[in-house]
Amino acid sequence: MQHAPSDHKELKMLPLSIHHFAVTLRRLTIAIVLFPLSSLTVAQTAVPAADLKGLTDPPGLKRYAGAVLVYRDDAAYDEIKFPSGKVNDVDDAYPHLAASGKRSSVQYTLPASRSALEVIRNYQSQAKADGFQTVFECLGENCGTGPGGGQVKFSIVKAMLPVRYVNQVGENTAAVCGAYYVSPIRYTLLENKSTGVVIAVAAATPEIFSTYCSDAYKNQLSVWVTRIEPQAREQQMVAISASEMAKSIDANGKVALYGIFFDTGKADIKAESKTSLDQIGELMKSRPDLKLHVVGHTDNVGAMEANMSLSKRRAESVVAALAASYGVNRARLTGNGVASLAPVQTNSTESGRAKNRRVELVLQ
């Protein structure tokens, strides 16, 4: 039986195709295994030998000898709920000492030849000489971090730092290389009752971090310090009168209010908001046909989903307060939240973020 020429030709080419495939596969394997080793090498963040550019120690804070400054953040007025007991979850209630005023927060890196205990004891000793008392001290699971340490962003350290810390340190920076997954944390809370100054110090050794960070970080010690000095908040946002609210709503369809205050991450209206609430109540009384959307706005610090929920809950708190204390019919008010979706200034500065955190009354 004879095969057609076309069939015979196809059978002769089959081994050649397999041969070519095998050669190609072998070359590809060699290329994958050998060639890219150098090309896959990535630049790693080295342990800094000196303070990062532009960083200096804040007034009133002393550093441990040999420490290198890798992070600093200040606020003219802030509030921190310093842990005074075990923190199982930074997003839940925990024992704390609340302090408000001028805040400075820093992060240092030191050679690991200096232990966390040594650093904490030195801070306590210096603080005692300056009139401070140790309010609380803990290690590892007694701090709430577990016996084997953990991620800083879920630990007692996060509670003593500004809310925007995680966003500020970014990725693969010297600060984050020393602050991802750490050994058991040592923490102490110090208070000067005569001056009202509160200082918190935490220390731990980096254990797990990005491949973009030098392995030398395992031989370092990370130290975090936050200091708050009592100081009156500057009253830059003046309460708007009912008549001014009416003019803005008539002209622009809305009015922005900066006199309604909330604690960071909370939706409970603070007592100092009464003046603004009084004026909104007067506005609603003088214009009985007026219907408004109450819209909460946040800055861009934190997750969008969380800020969306927070801004709506804050708006609903305002609606509830106006109904309960001023007799405003709830049918005339609708609470909504838009998080950071409608900024009026940049979120890259504290002054800009302050302008973006607001409540607006919008004409329905």
Whether residue 15 is predicted with pLDDT greater than 60 in this model: the reply is no
* Per-residue pLDDT reduced to its tens digit, 114-152: 899 999 999 999 999 999 999 999 998 898 865 555 677
Condensed to tens digits (0 to 9), the pLDDT of residues 281-298 reads: 999 999 999 999 999 999
The answer to which of 51-65, 226-240, 242-256 has the lowest mean pLDDT is 226-240
Query: Over the stretch 69-90, which tens digit does the pLDDT of each residue have?
Result: 999 999 988 889 999 998 887 7
Q: Spell out the alpha helix ranges (H) of the chain.
A: 5-33, 36-39, 116-129, 156-160, 165-169, 174-177, 242-252, 274-286, 304-326, 350-356
Q: Global pTM?
A: 0.59
Q: What is the pLDDT of residue 103?
A: 94
More confident residue, 101 or 181: 101
For every residue of 185-223, DSSP letters joined together read: PEEEEEE-TTT--EEEEEEE-EEE--TTB-GGGGGEEEE
Section 17-45 average pLDDT:
52
Q: Compute CA distances 208 → 46, 104, 300, whole Å.
A: 15, 27, 28
Quick check: 45 and 214 in contact, CB under 8 A?
yes
Query: Whole-angstrom Cα distance, residue 352 to residue 345?
Result: 5
pLDDT for 9 equals 43
